[in-house]
Amino acid sequence: MPLAAAERALLDERRPLTRDEALAVARLPLDDLPALIALAHRVRLAWCGPEVELESLINAKSGACAEDCAFCSQSAHFDTGVEVYPFLDLDEVLAAARATRDAGATQFCIVVAVRGPSERLLDKVIKAVTAVRDETGLEVACSLGLLEPAQAARLAAAGVRRYNHNLEAPRAVFGSICTTHSYDDRVATAHLAIDAGMELCCGGILGLGETLEQRVDFAFELAALEPCEVPVNLFDPRPGTPLADTPVLSPREALQAIALFRLVLPGAWIRLAGGREKILGELQSMGLYAGANALIIGNYLTTLGRSPEEDVALLESLGMPVAGGGPGEGRFVVAADGTHALPAKPVRKLIPLDAS
Ligand code: SF4
């Protein structure tokens, strides 16, 4: 019954689920997972089409972060042995961008491990964004931590297409995994990114000890921000962090979570990110049938992924085309005539470039 109600809402009435409807689906036994996955796949096709968006990341400034996020090996608060280096030379960023383009991806995300960027760091990032765009034509995203309004405006003006700022965990859990900034700080930067005119990429990490109900709440908290993209990291505990001994999700729990995210965020790019190889294991391809329609290819920030060629071959065997890039692409929806179109975006008042 809960799946039939969800199907009616999402496919017939074409509306998002209510919290009660999503919770009813979440409470189904894991033995019902195949039916949930089948529905999530149909919802993904109906709302987004068959394409899968590929992106790679560069950890352009690693480690020594002043924040104390308990899951993160880049925090200076924990002894994790992670590599520490300042912002990479432009040549290294460009080499990674070229490799991203050559692997068939369209999105390139410049990530730095900081609470938020200093003006000096922001200057370097903007220089790198311009160089990557000019040389490769890739769509460039940035993940630089908490922003000030003027910084968001500068990034948007430099052509940053998408800004990543994850909420990381449900509101009810966040305070137990980070004390140096608040959940509302994160929400504020998510709003700033949109208000500056960038697309919002906002997701988190599943398996940080949240309950199933909190996981559903998390999907709704993200949906309230109307993100274009939702990265789903599956928690893979890092040695030396306070969460090093946290039990991980089972593959079936992870697939259930991905499918629930698709039902709650039907029109977003749901991107499988860190932990997918480790947590899903043999069931990795099922993640793409459970509603995910985007992948991080190559390595993650501090952990290794598999080769991009393996992922491209996987998509080919699943009959899922790689999404093309280019201006105006972004999130897909399927129009009434069956073609892909961009959703109507609310008109927002942009932050002026000289905002403080
Ligand atoms: S702010 Fe980012 S880099 Fe810094 S500790 Fe938290 S998750 Fe890690």
CATH 3.40.630.30 describes domain 51-321: no
Q: Quick one: average pLDDT of 111-129?
A: 95
Average pLDDT in the chain: 87
HSE-up of residue 294 (Cα within 13 Å, Cβ side): 31
Q: Quick one: average pLDDT of 128-157?
A: 92
Is ligand 1 within 6 A of the CB of residue 113?
Answer: yes
Task: Determine the pLDDT at residue 309.
Answer: 80
Task: Determine the pLDDT at residue 28.
Answer: 96
Q: Quick one: average pLDDT of 75-95?
A: 90
Q: Answer yes or no: is pLDDT of 151 > 90.
A: yes
Is ligand 1 within 6 A of the CB of residue 205?
Answer: no
**Confidence category of residue 325, pLDDT binned at 50, 70, 90:** low
Q: Using one digit for the tens of pLDDT, what is the confidence trace for 154-197?
A: 999 998 989 999 999 999 999 999 999 999 999 999 999 999 98
- CA angle in degrees (0–180, nearest 5) for 210-215-220: 140
Mutate to test the pocket of ligand 1, among 59, 75, 147 (most ligand atoms within 8 A of CB): 75
The protein residue with its alpha carbon nearest to ligand 1, atom 6, reads 69
> Is-contact 198 160, C-beta < 8 A?
yes
Ligand 1 atom at minimum distance from 72 CA = 8
Is ligand 1 within 6 A of the CB of residue 72?
Answer: yes
Q: Using one digit for the tens of pLDDT, what is the confidence trace for 199-222?
A: 899 999 999 999 999 999 999 999
Q: Where are the domains of the chain?
A: 51-321
Task: Determine the pLDDT at residue 287.
Answer: 95
- Which residues, in sequence order, are CB contacts of 20 under 8 Å at separation 6+? none
Token couple for 55: 């992106």
Ligand 1 centroid to 145 CA: how many Å? 8
Report the C-alpha gap between 17 and 248 in whole angstroms: 28
> H/E element holding 47?
helix 33-48
pTM of the model: 0.88
> Is-contact 287 278, C-beta < 8 A?
no
> Is-contact 308 298, C-beta < 8 A?
yes
